Structure 1
Amino acid sequence: MGSAAVARLSGLFATYKPPGLNWLHLRDTIELQLLKGLNAGKPSVPEQRVRFLLGPVEGNEEELALTATSVPTLTNHRLVCGPAFTSLKIGVGHRLDAQASGVLVLGVGHGRRLLTDMYNAHLTKDYTVRGLLGKATDDFCEDGRLVEKTAYDHVTREKLDRILAVIQGSHQKALVMYSNLDLQSQEAYEMATRGAIRPMNKSPMLITGIRCLHFAPPEFLLEVQCMHETQQQLRKLVHEIGLELKTTAVCSQVQRTRDGFFTLDDALLRAHWDLHSILDTIQATAPRVAAELDKNLRPRLSTPQLPSPDRSWDSEALSSTLGLGSCAGH
């Protein structure tokens, strides 16, 4: 069982990281659970060897003789040489800090190389970010050291939506800049229509979509689609939104709901961090992982196309396609 399972234990899988748990502790916990599963199989029947043992002759206890006896060989027994599997190499994808929760992708075996492919694909991630109006703290978190309290009665849903629209528009313009695309090219227009514009290299946090899901002052809930972010930057974003609204705000929750092509539906809860569940998940998602990585790592356009003679591919057309300056949303 153990050797057969190790051969199949290669790929990507997603877990749900609860708040308050360090990502490294999660990785070590999963490694421990996998090792328990690999070593839990029934031990193989030990080989038998012939040994000549000295003992009394039957019927005459005073006379000794050598008797051929079959005895088990214990050199490979688990209690002698220890467990068969003692360590696994497990990689962690885009990390979550201790306070954040949500989808955390891990790779084992060949999956560690697939994590690099996911990183190189510059895929977007989705978050739900909960904010609380009326106060500011030193670390932008609700439980941080209180710095200031402010009134928020003047804040409305319409004002918040306008601020979010401005944020999305400015970040989408930055996205085009970091993608190193010629705004007047057919390539840029084609990628914009497919929503495939991404930075070619590392960049600051870029927000591709942001909207308000729920507004009940002092609480509000945002859905943020972004890349190259940290959870602390998302908390700071809530703080900056509060300032734009002429008040203050702190972040009370950051939850990642999607990492690339892994969603909450794919994430294994803590009760399922075991060998059989992880094996089943790797096998079930392997075809989708291969297809998504192939699609996202494929060259931008297979064959360059020239603009149609009856249409001008200018920066205004591209901006319209991207939705720059429009209302916030996906």
Structure 2
Amino acid sequence: MGKVRNAVNAYKALNGLICVYKPACVPVRQVQHTLITNLCRDLNALPSRPQEQRVEIVGATNAPLTVKVVPNLADDPLVCGPRYIHDDFRCSWASHLGLFTSGVLLLGINDGTRLTYYINSARLTRAYKVHGQFGKATDTYFWNGKTVERATFGHITRQKIDGVVAHMQAAHQKTMFQLTGLHMDSQSTYELASQGLIRPVDNKLPVIYGMKCIHFQPPHFTLEIQSVNEYDKYLWTIIHDLGIQLKTVAHCTGVQCIRQGKFDVELSLLRKHWQLEHILNNMDRCHQLIEEHGELLKPESATLKPLRSNNEVL
């Protein structure tokens, strides 16, 4: 998109999906508020529609009257306020990121809020870089918690981490198939797996599809996790469980979302680029991505069948 020159046309074009990079320790609602504030500021700085005119009839009633058109002061921005305010925008997110999680965040603006609903319903897989540290355990499994235990970690090697991570991934995948209620060696299970990734029918049940260690420099390490229905505290728990299985303790030091569906960090806008022109360009790129991948807003996989009815107590 070329340089924006008119506020009216720019506002009409603000209907779509954008991909931004959410910083850590910044709530999603604050990101939403900052984006709308910047859009209002940039739109109000552009040339807007001309000021309305009003007809004025002046002169004595016993003499010929004079009719003239003068600017309507009630429509002056100095009187009625800025042309664009927060209430002129609708904004929603496709999936929520925790306070301490950074990374890819999809936001819909105005008519784009419908796209965020479809993306949320499709439950696209998300990829994370989860950073951890051996030697210390906290009561929250995160770095800001209270230290409850310390342990040595000199016996840990990259090979041991890879072995435990592979075992944890296999355990999650086995549980994923067990939730279908089908036998692992049956033809039905094979046909279900051939349809693609299997998603649970409960959108609150986290499922891990892939997990590997991509960095290890004692005591620090990083796991790359691909999952669905996850949340920040669940990812912290994985780091804690990894430390227990390696006969030590560990806590999470950071979580970064690097991909959601086809949207990755290379597409996301940094905070310094949360401006009207960059937002419009990013909206065009997201629109092209959705058009190129028509299945983007459709569920990518089969869905697990529930083992119990809604009336049964778990």
**Residue 99 (structure 1) aligns with:** 100
Verify: 1:294 aligned to 2:295, yes or no. yes
Partner Cα separation in structure 1 for residue 232 and residue 39 of structure 2: 29
Shift of 1:261: 1.6
- Provide the C-alpha distance between the structure 2 equivalents of 1:104 and 1:180, rounded to a whole number of angstroms: 34
Q: 2:155 is matched with which residue?
A: 154
The answer on 1:188 being equivalent to 2:192 is yes
Q: Distance in 2 between matches of 1:253 and 1:294?
A: 32
Change (3 A) 1:121 1:170: same
Q: Is the 8 A contact 2:43 2:276 kept in 1?
A: yes
What corresponds to 1:58 in structure 2?
none
- Report percent identity of matched pairs: 34
Do the aligned partners of residues 138 and 298 (structure 1) sit closer, same or farther apart at CA in structure 2, a change above 3 Å counting?
closer
Partner residue, 1:235: 236
Alpha-carbon displacement from aligned partner over 1:185-206 (angstroms, at most 9, x marks no partner): 3642532xxx433334424211
TM-score of the superposed pair, with normalisation by structure 1:
0.79
Q: Gapped runs of 5+ residues in structure 1?
A: 55-64, 302-330
Aligned residue in 1 for 2:128: 127
Note the aligned Cα RMSD (angstroms).
2.5
**1:262 match:** 263
- Partner in structure 1 of residue 112 of structure 2: 111
Is 2:48 the partner of 1:52? no
For 1:98 and 1:299, the matched residues in 2 are separated by: 28
**Which residue identity does 2:34 align to in structure 1?**
T
Tell me the amino acid that sits aligned with residue 40 of structure 1: A
Query: Matched residues in 2 for 1:120 and 1:141: separation?
Result: 29
CA-to-aligned-CA distance 1:160-211 (integer Å, 9 cap, x gap): 11111111111112333456778513642532xxx43333442421110100
Q: Could you tell me which residue of structure 2 aligns to residue 37 of structure 1?
A: 42
**How many angstroms does 1:51 deviate by?**
4.3
CA distance in 2, matches of 1:179, 1:279: 43
Tell me whether 78-87 or 127-136 shows the greater mean CA deviation.
78-87
TM-score of the pair, normalised by structure 2: 0.83
**Counterpart residue type for residue 73 of structure 2:** L
| Structure 1 residue 37, shift from structure 2 partner | 2.2
Q: Distance in 2 between matches of 1:163 and 1:91?
A: 39
Match of 2:226 in 1: 225
How far 1:23 sits from its partner (Å)?
A: 1.1
Q: What secondary structure sits across from 1:14 in the alignment?
A: strand
Whether the 8 Å CA contact 1:178–1:200 is kept in 2: the answer is no
Q: Which runs of structure 2 are paired with 1:270-285 in the superposition (5 Å)?
A: 270-285=271-286
Q: Which amino acid aligns with 1:5?
A: A
The aligned residue for residue 316 of structure 1 is none
* Match of residue 82 from structure 2: 83
